[in-house]
Structure 1
């Protein structure tokens, strides 16, 4: 049994896309293997992934996280959530101990911004020592880490079999903890998915993915000016709703104030079923990490901005340093004197290389299962995990 841990269940497109990437990948490679997915809202996830076989959903580890909200770090260190979890929580822990491997899939949920999620690695470290399952993480973003938590968190990660991260700062943190021999710096887990097909048969539009952050008035003001100055906006404007609640705080204001009648709003369900429909001719502005990533995979260029420092700075800069072709700006001081038709390489030009890097990590962490599955005839022995 494979036990996945992910920040799915809130219908945030990026988190759901990471979950979908791994569920697609693992059900294809290990079609007879039972897979449990520990998500924030298992009922929501079960509906989103209703078409998959051999997938079951639970929230044991996220119960530990929720029970740690507004509690001090000592509560997590003492595993106080275990005492407060009751019989159902104890049963969930026994299920985890029966796994062949526990895999924390990617995302930016394991850092000091959400310190209560440290309960997840605290209990996994304990269960790993008791049960001996393989424990690894891929595509994680560990920054920022508060200095008061640093040593403690490093101790938890020392019991992991492997930790793969998606940004340089997180990797340097692992090295600082003495974990270089079991650490890698690759890229976001979404690079494991097929490259989306771009729509090249239309003029470029302005594509926007924006959330309110701590200053929604700044975001709305910036977007109204962007619509006015960006030449691609003359061909149409499209809002991508990656989060149905927070994104509409921005979208509804901009649509109302701008009075543009050609604004198309693509909601979460549309994006989930039909994917991004982006052309390399489009100009994209994004405050969201995965809109930035997927747009670049499809050959588009544009701007990104952080609505939370340093959390989103680390995320966007990691993509820019990989070669997304985007520029990061401050919405408060951007002059709009910009080369809107600038040509530069994007992830579309080298996504295959990023995918190969991620596949090398996957071969490493799932190698023990490939060998046993071939012996048990539960995987096609003419292939390997990297095909």
Structure 2
């Protein structure tokens, strides 16, 4: 039949829905942006957790829906290849070109072919820790080669790269129209310049809540702590000891401490080791964080192993201390925020006890400049997209 014009089809690829505060923040930001600039667009989010993602993000754009096609293809490829990035990327590309290799994904692949924009959202999930995720890049690039869709990957954290995988990473990213990375080390991998984390796009619009509203009958917490148990090179005891020693060195009253959860349960294991020494400390769950907003003020001090809580708290003007758990994975991320002006301190060693910060956070002008820079990138991806035609 003759071709006809259509509303643009935007296809976002992300690990949203796990849930993980950082991944949800990024997905929410891009959906907010598209709801503002392209409310008529047909938006698909490809994630490993489409059901939970629907619950968290289903109301953010009027025409958003959720699938798991590319993530499923990566899983299928990884089972037979020991998650080797070369084999996964090659098989996923073959599968999107020949859906008979994965007949259960045929309808999902047909949907991919309708996309005007294929956008791999930011985060630190395409690297040597999760090498099978290289299939996400391969699948998007292969579809675009078929259809002429615009391709983008933004705010990427690509370190540590997989062993023997740098050449593949460069080859795949060369097939994208727009490539943006969030830290200097990732930029070095590709031989490019660092950009910004995707959360800067709408960070000023993310909901916060006054601590006095959360705790109306008691003194609100003064020290906010997010301490995770995953991706920890030093072990739980070393991390628990470092956080407790820091709070004791600062002579923090336990009842003025609040533990914040970025990933449900994962961010409670270390807390369980030290909360007996901090009677009266409070807890703020991921569900509360997502439903009500971040309880942050510029008067607080933060201690965080998680990158996006560092970013969000600093964006609200709070100072703090970043605790990197992995020199290859977390140090580059936290350092990128320091270089951008977060005003935080980062521990060099877990045993360090720096003075309690009395200032910090992004100043308003710096934060606005970062937001505008990210907005220009968003405009370069979506302005004018959706002009292709499709066969009905």
TM-score class normalised by the smaller sequence? 0.7 to 0.9
Change (3 A) 1:348 1:72: same
User: After the TM superposition, which of the residue ranges 196-205 and 344-353 deviates more from structure 2?
Assistant: 196-205
**Where do 5+ consecutive residues of structure 2 fail to align?**
1-8, 213-218
**Which position in structure 1 is the counterpart of 2:51?**
43
Change (3 A) 1:71 1:362: closer
The 8 Å contact of residues 314 and 360 in structure 2, kept in 1 or not, is answered as no
Count, aligned residues: 361
**Which position in structure 2 is the counterpart of 1:72?**
84
Change (3 A) 1:204 1:353: farther
The 8 Å contact of residues 141 and 172 in structure 2, kept in 1 or not, is answered as yes
Aligned with residue 228 of structure 1, among 248, 252, 272 = 248
Q: Does 1:5 pair with 2:13?
A: yes
**Which position in structure 2 is the counterpart of 1:58?**
67
**Which position in structure 1 is the counterpart of 2:118?**
102
User: After the TM superposition, which of the residue ranges 45-54 and 269-278 deviates more from structure 2?
Assistant: 45-54
- Report the secondary structure of 1:143's partner residue: coil
| Rounded Cα–Cα distance in structure 2 between residues aligned with 1:155 and 1:50 | 34
| Rounded Cα–Cα distance in structure 2 between residues aligned with 1:50 and 1:200 | 27
| Rounded Cα–Cα distance in structure 1 between residues aligned with 2:203 and 2:142 | 36
Q: Does 1:22 pair with 2:30?
A: yes
Residue by residue over 1:263-319, the C-alpha shift from the partner in whole angstroms, topping out at 9 and shown as x without a partner, is 111111100011111121111111000011001001111111211231111111111
- Report the secondary structure of 2:164's partner residue: helix
Q: Does 1:33 pair with 2:11?
A: no
Residue by residue over 1:126-177, the C-alpha shift from the partner in whole angstroms, topping out at 9 and shown as x without a partner, is 21111110011111111221351111121111111110111122223322xx
Change (3 A) 1:13 1:85: farther
| Rounded Cα–Cα distance in structure 1 between residues aligned with 2:19 and 2:41 | 26
- Report the secondary structure of 1:245's partner residue: coil
The 8 Å contact of residues 166 and 186 in structure 1, kept in 2 or not, is answered as yes
| Rounded Cα–Cα distance in structure 1 between residues aligned with 2:155 and 2:379 | 14
When normalised by structure 1's length, the TM-score is: 0.86
Aligned with residue 112 of structure 1, among 110, 123, 128 = 128
- Report the Cα offset of residue 46 of structure 1: 1.0
**Which position in structure 2 is the counterpart of 1:148?**
164
The 8 Å contact of residues 84 and 131 in structure 2, kept in 1 or not, is answered as no
- Report the Cα offset of residue 66 of structure 1: 2.2
Aligned with residue 227 of structure 2, among 173, 190, 210 = 210
Residue by residue over 1:309-332, the C-alpha shift from the partner in whole angstroms, topping out at 9 and shown as x without a partner, is 311111111111111111111453
| Rounded Cα–Cα distance in structure 1 between residues aligned with 2:122 and 2:307 | 13
- Report the Cα offset of residue 24 of structure 1: 1.0
**Which position in structure 2 is the counterpart of 1:172?**
188
- Report the Cα offset of residue 27 of structure 1: 1.4
The 8 Å contact of residues 205 and 236 in structure 1, kept in 2 or not, is answered as yes
**Where do 5+ consecutive residues of structure 1 fail to align?**
374-387
- Report the Cα offset of residue 42 of structure 1: 0.4
Q: Does 1:282 pair with 2:300?
A: yes
The 8 Å contact of residues 222 and 331 in structure 1, kept in 2 or not, is answered as no
- Report the Cα offset of residue 74 of structure 1: 4.3
**Which position in structure 2 is the counterpart of 1:135?**
151
Change (3 A) 1:363 1:78: closer
- Report the secondary structure of 2:343's partner residue: coil
Tell which has more relative contact order, 1 or 2 (C-alpha 8 A, sep 6+): 2
| Rounded Cα–Cα distance in structure 2 between residues aligned with 1:72 and 1:200 | 46
Change (3 A) 1:319 1:259: closer
When normalised by structure 2's length, the TM-score is: 0.85
Q: Does 1:351 pair with 2:367?
A: yes
Q: Tell me how large the CA RMSD over aligned residues is.
A: 2.4
Change (3 A) 1:277 1:77: closer
| Rounded Cα–Cα distance in structure 2 between residues aligned with 1:85 and 1:347 | 52
